[in-house]
């Protein structure tokens, strides 16, 4: 049986102290506290580390450790801030947090949680209950709710995957939280192609079977790739319907758009999403590569319609890089 005290929460921070502190406040208000909380600072360029450490002392006695010597103090810890030297992306940061949790805690499961989220007080208990009901390994996701509209669902655990195009879309987005009990859980879980990394519960044994998050993606679709690998290993994707997590959506990266019809993604976000989508198809559905290439013609046409002609070369550059395996952190982000 999995209990909250068996779970280490992994929070990734990058120049987002305000959001991270709000998330910590929510975590210490949970009905049952997790076994440990690991905040990983992804080489923030601001004063995130001292701000987080100062605020965190309201609820615990956090330990600050450095990436160069994370195991300097071997004694167990329940509150740790890991300071990294370089931002190598979402997967790299979360993997570092998981490794540290293995080193400094006795936790057997991990709750990967975006720092721009605020779980309700029953969120972790419900995730554990849902995991235990499965009676086998599983990846479990929460119901994400928009922070700017707490009556509206962002996604039910994760979303659909169009495998031969690498396209994803959140399940039940836009539906009302008051109607949550009417949504069929079994049917939703059948449609789940991925669990969103904004709130993902997984067991150590799952990592032994499928490995950690792939770091070459840098940012975006790592959770989709992870979920595909889980399914291939026979690990189901589950939705803990009553685990509610409020999500500010894209606060760090600028990728959010649902609350702003005039929003345009930053060019580097556009590139990463397109590149990683191509890599996802190449790795998992290689027979669909011709169809994928044709779909990028439609993507380029959409950029023209959006008066983004300057991004058309980027579309095909991203496609080529994804198919050729030129991954990792883009040069212009170094």
Residue 165: closest CA among 328, 323, 290: 290
| pTM greater than 0.85 (yes/no) | yes
pLDDT digits (tens, 9 = 90+) for 207-255: 999 999 999 999 999 999 999 999 999 999 999 999 999 999 755 454 5
Domains and CATH numbers, the chain: 4-247 (3.90.550.60), 267-333 (no CATH)
Residue with tokens 């649902």: 258
Mean pLDDT of 35-44: 98
Looking at the predicted structure, is the pLDDT value of residue 333 above 70?
no
In this prediction, residue 180 carries a pLDDT of: 96
Asked whether the predicted pLDDT for residue 261 surpasses 60, the reply is no
Distance CA(136)–CA(238), nearest Å, equals 11
The yes-or-no verdict on residue 176 having pLDDT over 70 is: yes
With 60 as the cut, is the pLDDT of residue 325 above it?
yes
The C-alpha atoms of residue 36 and residue 77 are separated, in whole angstroms, by 7
**Per-residue pLDDT tens digits for 4-14:** 999 999 999 99
Helix spans in the chain (H): 17-27, 48-56, 90-104, 123-134, 185-191, 204-210, 222-232, 267-284, 289-305, 312-324
Give the CA distances from residue 85 to residues 93, 113, 284, in Å, rounded to whole numbers and listed in that order. 11, 21, 32
pLDDT at res. 70: 64
pLDDT for 260 equals 43
Pairing of strands 237-247, 117-119: antiparallel
Helix (H) or strand (E) holding 241: strand 237-247
């Amino acid at each position: 049986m999995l209990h909250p005290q068996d779970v280490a929460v992994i929070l990734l921070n990058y120049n987002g102290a305000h959001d991270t502190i709000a998330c910590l406040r929510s975590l210490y208000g949970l009905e049952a506290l997790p076994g440990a909380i690991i905040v990983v600072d992804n080489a923030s360029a601001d004063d995130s580390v001292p701000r987080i450490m100062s605020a965190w002392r309201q609820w615990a006695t956090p330990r600050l450790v450095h990436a160069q010597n994370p195991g300097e103090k071997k004694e167990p810890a329940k509150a740790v801030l890991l300071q990294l030297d370089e931002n190598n992306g979402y997967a790299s940061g979360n993997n570092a947090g998981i490794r540290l949790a293995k080193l400094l805690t006795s936790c057997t499961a991990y709750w990967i949680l975006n720092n721009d989220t605020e779980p309700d007080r029953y969120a972790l208990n419900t995730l554990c209950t849902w995991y235990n009901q499965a009676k086998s390994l599983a990846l479990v996701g929460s119901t994400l709710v928009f922070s700017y509209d707490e009556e509206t669902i962002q996604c039910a655990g994760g979303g659909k995957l169009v495998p031969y195009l690498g396209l994803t879309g959140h399940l039940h987005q836009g539906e009302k939280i008051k109607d949550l009990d009417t949504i069929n859980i079994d049917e939703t879980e059948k449609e789940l192609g991925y669990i969103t990394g904004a709130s993902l519960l997984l067991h150590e044994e799952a990592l032994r079977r499928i490995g950690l998050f792939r770091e070459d993606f840098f940012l975006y679709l790592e959770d989709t790739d992870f979920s595909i690998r889980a399914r291939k290993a026979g690990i189901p994707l589950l939705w803990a319907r009553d685990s509610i997590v409020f999500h500010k959506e894209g606060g760090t990266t600028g990728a959010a758009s649902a609350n702003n019809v005039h929003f345009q993604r930053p060019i580097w976000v556009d590139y990463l999403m397109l590149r990683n989508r191509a890599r996802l198809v190449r790795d998992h559905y290689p027979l669909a590569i011709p169809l994928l290439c044709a779909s990028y013609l439609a993507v380029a046409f959409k950029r023209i319609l959006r008066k983004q002609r300057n991004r058309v070369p980027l579309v095909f550059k991203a496609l080529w890089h994804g198919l050729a395996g030129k991954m990792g952190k883009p040069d212009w982000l170094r």
